[in-house]
């Protein structure tokens, strides 16, 4: 991969929305209307129909948190390398959150942000693919900043305010996050992926620890070893030595 790929920084432009259904939907609409530009960020003060992994909703209190989506031109990545972008975005969020929350910040496979055993943020990447060409990606991020009361349906949420005792300006922090994302995406396009993957594995949630996973209706215990370059979770003492995303669930 060439070492001189320079793209517009993430967050140029940075568009604030008072309320929207979903920042990912808003960004995808731009793509569908041929208005997409790499680096565009759409930040919502309130989101009414946030999207999470596996069709789940992302519930968040208005005006309290980081809710944003950015449009990314994945070229020169190709189909089959989507996990590489996921790693870069997760590391950008990790860099940002750990700066305030400290060394107990982790990335939970595939790309949730955790502090201790509690979820601080989630990432949802959706792709625009035509034929065999990966044209665009929309990376949506929700990170808990000032919220202290959460929907009881959420099992283990945590916010930066709960961790630090401080109140933050979500817009200023979102712009700071954009700088971290710019750095990691620049690394993605200009350095060997093995470097990013190693850094991802260094901050992997529960690495080298026994965990409970579930495959279909079977629950089992195994030890997490890491994640490989195509995004498979590598384990020992499980029914298999690797699992693709969606093949197993936590618990």
Beta strands in the chain, from DSSP E residues, in sequence order:
14-17, 41-44, 66-72, 105-108, 112-115, 118-130, 133-143, 210-215, 218-227, 233-236, 242-243, 249-250
Lowest mean per-residue pLDDT among 93-97, 213-217, 227-231 = 213-217
Token pair of 168 as six digits: 């933050």
Count Cβ atoms within 10 A of the Cβ of residue 131 and give its class: 0-12 exposed, 13-18 middle, 19 or more buried: exposed
- The structural domains of the chain, with segments of one domain joined by +, span 14-202, 210-250
User: Which of 124, 138, 46 is CA-nearest to residue 90?
Assistant: 124
Q: Which residue do the tokens 């996921």 mark?
A: 86
**pTM given for the model:** 0.94
CA trace torsion 81, 195, 91, 31 (10° rounding):
-30
CB 139 within 8 A of CB 128: no
Q: List pLDDT tens digits, range 96-105.
A: 999 999 999 9
Note the pLDDT of residue 48.
84
Note the pLDDT of residue 2.
46
Distance (Å, whole) CA 46 – CA 143: 13
Q: List pLDDT tens digits, range 43-71.
A: 999 988 765 554 555 556 679 999 999 99
CATH T-level fold of 14-202: BirA Bifunctional Protein; domain 2 (3.30.930)
Distance (Å, whole) CA 71 – CA 126: 10
């Amino acid at each position: 991969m060439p070492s001189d790929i320079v793209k517009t920084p993430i967050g140029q432009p940075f568009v604030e929305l008072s309320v929207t259904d979903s920042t990912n939907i808003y960004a995808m609409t731009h793509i569908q209307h041929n208005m997409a530009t790499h680096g565009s960020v759409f930040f919502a003060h309130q989101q009414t129909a946030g999207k999470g992994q596996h069709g789940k909703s992302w519930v968040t209190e208005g005006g309290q948190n980081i809710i944003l989506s950015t449009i990314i031109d994945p070229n020169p990545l190709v189909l089959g390398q989507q996990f590489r972008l996921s790693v870069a975005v997760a590391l950008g969020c990790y860099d940002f959150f750990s700066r305030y929350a400290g060394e107990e910040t982790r990335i939970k496979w595939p790309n949730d942000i955790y502090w201790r055993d509690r979820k601080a943020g989630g990432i949802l990447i959706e792709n625009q693919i035509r034929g065999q060409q990966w044209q665009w990606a929309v990376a949506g991020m929700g990170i808990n900043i000032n919220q202290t009361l959460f929907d009881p349906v959420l099992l283990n949420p945590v916010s930066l305010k709960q961790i630090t005792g401080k109140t933050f300006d979500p817009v200023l922090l979102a712009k700071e996050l954009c700088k971290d994302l710019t750095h990691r995406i620049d690394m993605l396009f200009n350095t060997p992926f093995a470097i990013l993957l190693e850094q991802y594995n260094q901050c992997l949630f529960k690495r080298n620890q026994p965990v409970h996973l579930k495959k279909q209706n079977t629950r089992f215990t195994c030890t997490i070893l890491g994640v490989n370059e195509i995004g498979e979770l590598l384990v020992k003492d499980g029914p298999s030595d690797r699992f693709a995303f969606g093949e197993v669930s936590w618990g």
